[in-house]
Chain A
């Protein structure tokens, strides 16, 4: 208390001094930012991967951006709407007076070019633009995007679509993203020319990337004028670097360090929900399971699925495994996504007696099955599986845990070689249809690629497909609610929780948690 009272006047004095010294002029502030991994490439259309997009958001800009609250905000596009006469055309109005770092002007041509480039077969973002058939520049600041059919949600796919300068791309022969088969390095992997708030000063991959504020940016100069970005893979070292004062911001704070850092003088930890749910799923369709010791498929019985739900003690996992850093819920849907409902979130207390009775009613001796789990993909993924194995053991289900690297785990889901698995899923479009398309729809051309449950329901499939083109939002939301009810009734997923994100910063730095884990250092403000 006394220290607070003592420091308050001094801080006011310092800020008054700062104001008088730097009034009018931009204060030079360097921010040293550390996170677990580096961007893989600076090519804005090559790798659809979190850390890569996060860094690129500082150098390149998108047409729209995702705000902290999950809403869409204008960026290079000032307005967007579906064409009044043709529901298959998106009309975008572009911002005027924007220049690239090399001084060339931003026009509709650059958007048309970037849209062609991002749809090239060597682009990692291609799938997000699969409904696009072409784009035309109507004038310098208007673009029409032609879709294969009505696509009322397409604009949600633009939050990681970076705009490149068409002239610069032509001059440097980077008209398409890196092609691995070609065996040559693309110039855009290490060189940039965006419209973003920061220019690339130097880059040593996986060592240090330095960015400096771009004077010619259309918005005002951000308080942070220089960014030094250093990946530090090892969790203990990352935290040590923050404690020793060698970095200012740590983006990926290990769960086990959050509580301790919160109590450390001079460090502030901000937490917020991430757009990623962690859940179990199982094959409820095959007549017999490869890894089970019974003659039929236990997961095909609604009673067994119910028993497993009754055995999952979400609160215990939250407290013990996640140390409080998770939001348990019943449906695999983060709270800010369209289609989320309070009742989808609600879950009851575990009831082991009843669950045990349900299992023994069908299998008097219980049964055993393999549980596949990644061990390097989600927060404490392996520990969550271990906890659930213990819980299942109490109701006569022996789950043999097989936890392995993500590069071995995900192919099992793709090839339908797992009966029972853990998966995490984010919803970048912030709409339930994204969950249905990939996880609920029957696996066929373009749908159900992560539907490891083999779930197939023709009626739901038709409804899911119709969501893509419905323009009446009220009817659409009603249909989403209807689909969720069926999905929950059939227990396609056994959801555990939504992950939380934690950023640790030195006192005096304000960095809000971004739901997509894509914080912008241009948004950082300083207290004093």
Chain B
């Protein structure tokens, strides 16, 4: 187990180095940050001097090695755009993104599994048909449009929920800024969480439904029924548990996507998270923020994958036996 984790950590470092390399290669095509930094009056000589001072004229390899060298020491530099330390900026935005991702992930998982099980068990019911139809919308409409539609309905027409921002926040003792504890913070969370989680919810629901239908046809479910077990025990004790391995994989990977691709939802709702920070940084070619963000996202994906792998052990006893078999 320990060897397994160590191996995964080594792999993770390689993955992150590769991400940083690819990111740096891409930055050369994003453009010139100088135009976002100085006024139009600035002379060509002053622009060139600033480029030199920022090291933008250095060869690609030199810039990359300098970035990795600094990053290893936890030093990601100063944002060109906001003039604040990059790590501090990202850490101050991270709680907003993580809270949003967590809520939408939980919503997507709970409702996705519940709706998936229901539609699998009552395949021909009217409610099932309705759920399946609505879920089509979730899969096919782009996030951007869902967000704007929700804002229009709930903020402009009904005026029930706020259209943008995070509401009032409370700073917890260790610097974590949370929106969970204030009424306006909770209200602000609803629309972005639905927008971000809708796609994941429909995905999980369809996956659970398909897996359930598959499992319900297997022999051991028939034997379980023959043993006289209650429906509840058959459906949830045997059938659902056996559908969970692929569902956990997908949910885990999707959690990474939720964090990484909250960019669109955060932009639509002016949610002050790392996604919005990243997209604003791309517009201004703020290389220090972009590179730190991409490395951070790579790190999150790597950690989530590791956790998912470990969860397999817990859910699927066969894996434990196989691994054990190899060792002996």
Query: Which residues of chain A have a CB within 8 Å of any CB of chain B?
Result: 37, 40-41, 43, 46-49, 121, 124-128, 130, 178, 180-181, 183-186, 189-190, 204-208, 230-234, 236-237, 240-241, 243-246, 376, 404-408, 410-411, 414, 425-426, 438, 443, 445-446, 449-450
Contact = CB atoms under 8 A, between A and B. Distances in A.
B268 A234 contact: yes
B41 A183 contact: no
Contacts of B41: 48, 127-128, 438
A414 B78 contact: no
Interface in B225-265: none
A243 B156 contact: yes
A124 B285 CA distance: 17
Contacts of B283: 376, 405, 407
Contact of A230 (B54, B77, B269, B270): B270
9 contacts: A40-B83, A46-B83, A180-B78, A181-B54, A185-B78, A189-B82, A233-B280, A240-B155, A241-B164
A402 to B, nearest CB: 13
B209 interface: no
A411 B53 contact: no
Closest 10 CB pairs of A and B: A407-B31, A48-B39, A127-B41, A408-B31, A207-B272, A411-B32, A407-B285, A244-B155, A410-B35, A240-B163
B37 interface: yes
Contacts of B151: 236-237, 240
B267 interface: yes
B95 interface: no
- Give the interface size class of chain B: 35 or more
Contacts of A47: 37, 83
Contacts of B285: 407
Contact of A184 (B29, B78, B80): B78
Contacts of B219: none
Contact of A414 (B29, B47, B80, B268): B47
A461 to B, nearest CB: 16
A351 B158 CA distance: 52
B322 interface: no
Interface of B: 29-33, 35-47, 49, 53-54, 75, 77-78, 80-85, 148, 151-152, 155-156, 159, 162-166, 267-270, 272, 276-277, 279-280, 283-285
B45 A445 contact: yes
Contacts of A208: 165
Contact of A234 (B31, B43, B267): B267
A183 B267 contact: no
A360 to B, nearest CB: 38
Given A48-B39, A48-B41, A234-B270, A244 B30 contact: no
Contacts of A181: 53-54
A234 B155 CA distance: 15
A404 B29 CA distance: 11
Contacts of A125: 39
Nearest to A47: B37
B156 A180 contact: no
Nearest to B285: A407
Nearest to A177: B83
Contacts of B166: 207
B82 A40 contact: yes
Nearest to A407: B31
A233 B267 contact: yes
Contact of B276 (A190, A206, A230, A450): A206
B38 A446 contact: no
B304 to A, nearest CB: 27
Contacts of A121: 46, 49
A180 B84 contact: no
B83 A124 contact: no
Given A127-B43, A128-B39, A181-B53, 16 more contacts: A46-B83, A121-B46, A180-B78, A186-B83, A208-B165, A230-B164, A230-B270, A233-B279, A234-B268, A234-B270, A237-B270, A240-B152, A240-B155, A245-B159, A425-B40, A445-B43
B163 A241 contact: yes
Contacts of A408: 29-32
A184 to B, nearest CB: 7
Contacts of B279: 233
Contacts of A236: 148, 151, 268
Contacts of B148: 236-237, 240
A113 B120 CA distance: 75
A126 B37 CA distance: 13
Contacts of A426: 40
A407 B36 contact: yes
Contacts of B77: 183
Contacts of B165: 207-208, 230
B33 A407 contact: yes
A180 B30 contact: no
A186 B285 CA distance: 21
Nearest to B267: A234
Nearest to B45: A445
A24 B263 CA distance: 49
**Most chain B Cβ neighbours within 10 Å, of A47, A184, A207, A443:** A207
Contacts of A180: 53-54, 78, 80, 83
Nearest to B31: A407
Contacts of A449: 42-44, 47
Given A126-B46, A183-B78, A185-B84, A246 B163 contact: yes
B209 to A, nearest CB: 34
A382 B136 CA distance: 34
**Most chain B Cβ neighbours within 10 Å, of A43, A245, A405:** A405
Contacts of A48: 38-39, 41-42
A185 B277 contact: no
B163 A237 contact: yes
Contacts of A446: 43, 45
A43 B83 contact: yes
Contacts of A231: 270
B84 A205 contact: yes
A174 B163 CA distance: 38
Contacts of B82: 40-41, 189, 205-206
**Most chain A Cβ neighbours within 10 Å, of B39, B44, B82:** B39
Nearest to B39: A48
Nearest to A408: B31
Contacts of A205: 82, 84
Contacts of B35: 406-407, 410-411
A315 to B, nearest CB: 29
A30 to B, nearest CB: 15
A177 to B, nearest CB: 9
A240 B85 CA distance: 33
Contacts of B40: 425-426, 438, 450
Contact of A204 (B44, B75, B272): B272
Contacts of A234: 267-268, 270
Contact of A232 (B42, B45, B84, B270): B270
Nearest to A157: B41
A159 to B, nearest CB: 13
B122 to A, nearest CB: 38
Nearest to A204: B272
A16 to B, nearest CB: 30
Contacts of B277: 206
A184 B83 CA distance: 9
B53 A405 contact: no
